[in-house]
Amino acid sequence: MQDMIILGLLQFTPMSSYDIKKKIERSTSNFYNASMGSIHPALKKLTTKRAVTIEEKIDNGRLKRIYTISPLGIEMFNQWLDDGIGVKNSKDPALAKLFFMGFTDKSAQVMHLKNHIIALNQKYIHLKLLQDEFAGVTAPEGLEDHLIYQMATLDYGVEGVKFSRDWYKKLLAKIDNQ
């Protein structure tokens, strides 16, 4: 999925790996996040596959590599989109740990649940701030559909985190009442 996110972002504009990381942080972090340690190998793989090209230039005395999606990269990306959305099983590590939480004592269970609720609340606040920040944004001409779907993923993230936070609060109340 990371390769496709990178290809999708490069369709908007050529970027450096640093710019890609920043764009991911501000756009897809509610459903996918990446570090430079994963972006660099992905870009190398995409370059090897000829899905992206590299232009090297000097910027403020430093070598900067600018990545651009190639026609083959556009074809790969469009094929990925044409495959449809699909329904996949969740691979949520929190649910895997929750499944086995009965192996810990009650105080540890409560502590883990409270910490998770705090983390979810922080994520919810972050996403709400992003939502507020982008509330009045209008798309440049010809990119209106992009904005609709990008905002939809942000709305999905806000609602999903809110649901998770509230669900974990109910679970904590159930555990506290045992």
H/E stretch holding 23? helix 17-27
Per-residue confidence (pLDDT) for residue 174, from 0 to 100: 96
Gap between the Cα atoms of 171 and 99, Å rounded: 13
CATH 1.10.10.10 for domain 2-82: yes
Residue labelled with tokens 């899905």: 51
Say if pTM beats, i.e. exceeds, 0.85.
no
Domain residue ranges of the chain, discontinuous segments joined by +: 2-82, 93-176
Per-residue confidence (pLDDT) for residue 65, from 0 to 100: 95
Gap between the Cα atoms of 164 and 87, Å rounded: 19
Residue 87: C-alpha distances to residues 4, 6, 149 (Å): 17, 22, 18
| 112-119 long-range contacts, CB within 8 A, separation 24+ | 113/168, 113/171, 113/172, 113/175, 114/172, 116/168, 117/165, 117/168, 117/169, 117/172
Residue 154 banded pLDDT, cuts 50, 70, 90 = very high
Is the pLDDT at 67 greater than 80? The verdict is yes
Residue 59 banded pLDDT, cuts 50, 70, 90 = confident
- Which tens digits make up the pLDDT trace of 10-53? 999 999 999 999 998 888 877 788 888 999 999 999 999 999 99
Q: Do residues 72 and 53 touch, judged by C-beta distance below 8 A?
A: no
- Which tens digits make up the pLDDT trace of 85-138? 877 777 778 888 998 999 999 999 999 999 999 999 999 999 999 999 888 888
Is the pLDDT at 84 greater than 90? The verdict is no
